[in-house]
Amino acid sequence: MTVAGIFCGLFSRKKKSKKNAIPPFKIDIIILRNGSEPQLPAVALLDTQCQKGNWISSRLVERLGVSDQVRTDIEAVEVWDANGKPVKACGAVDLVWRPHPNGERNHWCRFYVLPRSGDKFDIILGADFIHANGLLLLNLPALLTLTEHEKIKKKEQLDIAAAKKRQAEEKAELEARRKQREKDIEAGHQDGQSS
């Protein structure tokens, strides 16, 4: 299992463009205190490769002042960073957040807390959350469909052969009509010249 950006710095804050655009797959959020009071802005990364829950940095947990709410009686969740090293969650915390500045819908999420060595981001929203909330939609017509090659069945082979035969007959008929038309035109020229 890979959590993109744990050690790669994919969530490092880069300079924004002149228009202050958020890079793709990142959203500004605000974390709410007691489910309603604004508390702290953060940046969330949408990570389709994160197959085990949502994640929060221990640095952000401390900034939020919710270290005492981190549950350690959870099932041990372990992922691997981009370098293939195991990273184990040091607990989980439940938080409410919404997109900022125009978000109207609050989201409750359980976040696994990463140890200090892995907190190169604020928040990662994993594949399950992304899928459940329709945050990333595929443009299916833009994708090439790959199918497994199967052996052609006898009936299909006969159908293909019949279609090829029909195509050849139609092509020959069209060619014959074209030649006949050329002959007719040629004959018309000859009749016109002889009169």
| Predicted confidence (pLDDT) per residue in 6-29, tens digit | 333 333 334 444 455 556 678 788
Claim to verify: residue 30 and residue 107 sit in the same structural domain: yes
Claim to verify: residue 33 and residue 95 sit in the same structural domain: yes
3-state helix, strand, coil in the chain (%, to 5): 30, 25, 45
Q: Can you tell me the distance from the alpha carbon of 67 to that of 47, in angstroms, rounded to the nearest whole number?
A: 24
Q: Which helix (H) or strand (E) holds 178?
A: helix 154-194
At residue 80 the predicted structure's pLDDT band, cuts being 50, 70 and 90, is confident
Most confident of 5-19, 48-62, 70-84: 48-62
Separation of first and last alpha carbons in the chain: 90
pTM: 0.58
At residue 42 the predicted structure's pLDDT band, cuts being 50, 70 and 90, is confident
Classified as helix, coil or strand, 171 is: helix
pLDDT at 47 over 70: yes
Distances (CA, A) of 137 to 28, 98, 107, 132, 155: 19, 20, 19, 11, 39
Claim to verify: residue 42 and residue 108 sit in the same structural domain: yes
**Does residue 194 lie in a domain region?**
yes
Classified as helix, coil or strand, 44 is: strand
Claim to verify: residue 75 and residue 98 sit in the same structural domain: yes
Claim to verify: residue 128 and residue 36 sit in the same structural domain: yes
Claim to verify: residue 113 and residue 184 sit in the same structural domain: no
Structure confidence at residue 186 (pLDDT): 78
CATH assignment of the domain containing 111: 2.40.70.10
Structure confidence at residue 31 (pLDDT): 86
Average pLDDT of the chain is 77
**Does residue 7 lie in a domain region?**
no
Domain hosting 31: range is 26-138
pLDDT at 84 over 60: yes
Q: Which residue has the tokens 């199918």?
A: 147
Claim to verify: residue 82 and residue 49 sit in the same structural domain: yes
- ∠ Cα 41 128 51 (to 5°): 100
Claim to verify: residue 178 and residue 124 sit in the same structural domain: no
**Does residue 144 lie in a domain region?**
no
**Does residue 170 lie in a domain region?**
yes
**Does residue 18 lie in a domain region?**
no
**Does residue 19 lie in a domain region?**
no
Claim to verify: residue 55 and residue 100 sit in the same structural domain: yes
- Count of the separate structural domains present in the chain: 2
